[in-house]
Each structure stands twice: as structure tokens, then as C-alpha cells.
Amino acid sequence: MIVQFGSARIELVLGDITVQRVDVIVNAANAQLAGGGGVDGAIHLAAGPEIMEELQRRYPDGCPTGSAVVTSGGNLHSRYVFHAVGPIWQGGGIKESGLLESAYQICLSLAEKHTCRTLAFPSISTGVYRYPVDLAAEIALRTVAVKLETSDQLDLVRFVLFDQGTFGSYARVLETMLI
């Protein structure tokens, strides 16, 4: 599914984020930048050990929730990996939505700063961090769409979704944005 926003596109695909050929692959990282399971583990495995070494060297104190840091792409087909730390879902009462929105905004700003035109995002915080997928999809897609409406640099933001349920949630939200 592809939708135009400004001069750029949002694309939804079902698949493996580690094989995407884009300028930036966004990793759903933890605050310690210590690697983990899910998307984080898959990206570290595919990228090779140099990314973990770079994270430890450049960001020994980790990364706060709602922010992101940059490394090289390692063995991936991307110039960079942005390690974005989304919030752990606690029921919605501790500003989780603002933190999730911030993680996406910072990644988009980093892309412009590093003259990147194409990004691949996972569904940040919806795995082990238990953020409800429908709510996360709304925040992610709205944040990206608003940025694309005003950006003259970004060409494509692809959401690479791991399972059919997550893809369906993102597709439903994106369809409602077109009405």
C-alpha cells in the first residue's frame, strides 16, 4: 500500500526490515542500546558486531526514551541505522504517546540532517513493549505524514511490518487518513 503526502510517499509492506534497500533502517532499540530480541535482535544479527561496538563507543550512557541515535549500517543495505527508543506501554497515563511521537520525529529530523531520502521503520514499541498497535499506528503514520507534507528532502518512508495483524492495523489507519 502506497500513499502520497506532499512530494513523498508512505509505503506499508509486510516483510523483513533487515533486507530493505533504503538510506536508513530504524531499529526499535532499548534505552541501554544493549541489543535484544525482536526487531532489535534481527537488525543486530544482520548488521554484524560493528554496530554494537559503535553504540558502546559513541553512546555509553544509552539513549533516553523518546529519542534516537545514529550508527553506520554495518552489513545492512543502508547507510545508517537509527536506534529509536520507544516507550513501554503502561496504560497510556505516563505520556507514552508523546514519547512515541518524539521517537518518530527525531528519526525524521536525523534523516534530514544526514541528507537521507528513504527510511524504513518498524512498528516501534508494539512488540515486547506492548504498545497497542492501533494507537501506535495512528501516532506513527500521523507524525510521518505531517513531516512529509513540509519536507522537500524525504522521498519515501516505508513501514516494514512483521505480521499480518500489524500490517492490517497500519493499513486501516492509513486508509482513514485519506478520507
40, 152, 155, 163: which one is catalytic?
40
Based on the residue annotation, tell me whether 163 is a catalytic residue of this protein: no
Helix (H) or strand (E) holding 95: none
Work out the burial of residue 33: count CB atoms within 10 Å of its CB; fewer than 13 is exposed, 13-18 middle, 19 or more buried: buried
CA distance 103 to 84: 6
Q: What is the crossing angle of helices 164-177 and 133-150, to 10°? A: 50
Q: Which residues on neighbouring strands pair with residue 84, listed in sequence order? A: 28, 68
Map residue 170 onto helix, strand or coil. helix
CA 88 to chain centre: 15
Closest CA to 104 of 118, 84, 90: 84
The set of catalytic residues is 40
